[in-house]
Amino acid sequence: MSDISFSSYRKNDIHGVSLYPATMIAPVQHKIMASLFRDNDISSVYDPYHGSGTALFEAAKLDLNCNIIGCDINPLAHLITYSKLKGVTQKIEDDIQSLFFLIEKTPEYNFEFDNISKWFRADIIASLKKIRWAITQISSKRNRAFFWIVFANTIRKYSNSRSSTYKLHIKDMVDINRLHNNVIRDFQKQVENNYQKFTLKAPNVTLLKGDILKMSRKLADRSMDLTITSPPYGDNQTTVPYGQFSSLALFWIDSKDLKLEGWELDNYSKIDRMSLGGQRKNTLTHFGETLLEPYLNEISKEKQTKVINFFADYFISLDDICRVTDKYIVMTLGNRTVDRININLTEITSRYLESNGFILVNTLSRDIPIKRTPRLTSKVRNEAVSSMNEEFVIIHSRQ
């Protein structure tokens, strides 16, 4: 497989409709799967960290009848992926008309959550409340899901949080005051411009919402032909805070339309703390320790704990991926820098998969062209430290 740069790809397709951090590049996953599907009789695809569902949607595009199973701990990821894979109904144009009509007819009602007025201006809250109410009046679950994920983008765009980071970080007052309230028209335009992208309706889809370390127990040994995924690269709090990024939208979206376990809205960082490596839950095996040893010796004690917590969870997840996968494992990974030490996640993962009976058949790499996480993420003794800027795709096959 030659070129996987796809540097001209601009996400004008379904994958650009609702933003999510650190997504895969759809054509890369498509190209890899097209070749694996062609030569290996693949009829089931599993993504244990599906995020916005890039790989699963591309799998369904290649083979609509494919058995698709995914998991994510973040309810926004779940909703976006559900909407992409289930599409909208044939009544969508009627529902859009009703929705736009209802927005203008919204009654006065109470709606608030902790700190709502910190994150949104009063007039913006009033406009968002109209859209929110109107969506709750639509009877089709699939059409509501599409409206919610467009709404999620509107929420982010009109919040008082900076768009330059995935973390919640309040804007300067001048910028907050300068924001022009075009919420309703903007939302309507996004709905009109995008509903036609949601035409796929994959029949064999199971989306598990929860911690993969628990959810994967539901899956039988060697039950999935292909696992294709991009896991987190470290604990969410110090790498990509998927939960914090999603939290404002999750507070706004009607919880009846979210798959919630109950703890997700406790605070803005709860999802990140419950994600891989967010807490000390597991310990490293001897083999895990051997793989990490060259890196751990080089970094500060405090950072060591975070790295160990992450890898203890990560290796258990890899064990499970190997147990569940029958033929191929494809992983998109970045190498993360901690205390100026480059942690070679790609090599660590490959060695771990090989020790579990999956041999490396190909490694592909590409520069990450657009990134919101700055290339220089933190400072160690006042020197900037680089984050990830190249990603790797490793392809392993069962021996």
Give the residues lining the site for ligand SAM (CB under 6 A).
20, 22-24, 49, 51-52, 54, 71-74, 77, 211-213, 230-232, 242, 275-276
Tell me how many degrees the CA angle 172-178-184 measures, rounded to the nearest 5.
115
Q: Please tell me the distance from the alpha carbon of residue 181 to that of residue 350, in angstroms, as a whole number.
A: 49
> Least separation, in Å, of the C-beta of 276 and ligand SAM?
4
> Least separation, in Å, of the C-beta of 157 and ligand SAM?
19
Joined tokens for residue 345: 């996640």
> Least separation, in Å, of the C-beta of 229 and ligand SAM?
7
Nearer to ligand SAM, 213 or 260 (CB): 213
Nearer to ligand SAM, 71 or 145 (CB): 71
Where are any strands of DSSP class E within the chain? 44-47, 67-72, 205-209, 224-229, 325-334, 336-338, 341-343, 358-367, 376-380, 383-386, 390-398
> Least separation, in Å, of the C-beta of 42 and ligand SAM?
18
Q: Write the CB contacts of 161 (distance below 8 Å, at least 6 apart in sequence).
A: 119, 168, 169, 170, 171, 248
Nearer to ligand SAM, 102 or 368 (CB): 368
> Least separation, in Å, of the C-beta of 63 and ligand SAM?
19
Nearer to ligand SAM, 99 or 307 (CB): 307
Nearer to ligand SAM, 128 or 316 (CB): 316
Helix-, strand-, coil-residue percentages of the chain, each rounded to 5? 45, 15, 40
Phi, psi of 45 (to 5 degrees): -130, 135
Q: Please check whether residue 339 is in contact with residue 380, taking contact to mean a CB–CB distance below 8 angstroms.
A: yes
> Least separation, in Å, of the C-beta of 69 and ligand SAM?
13
CA distances from residue 169 to 149, 175, 268, 366 in whole angstroms, order as listed: 22, 13, 12, 30
Nearer to ligand SAM, 195 or 242 (CB): 242
Does residue 52 sit in helix, strand or coil?
coil
What residue is closest to ligand SAM based on CB? Answer: 51
> Least separation, in Å, of the C-beta of 225 and ligand SAM?
19
Nearer to ligand SAM, 36 or 276 (CB): 276
Q: Please tell me the distance from the alpha carbon of residue 271 to that of residue 268, in angstroms, as a whole number.
A: 8
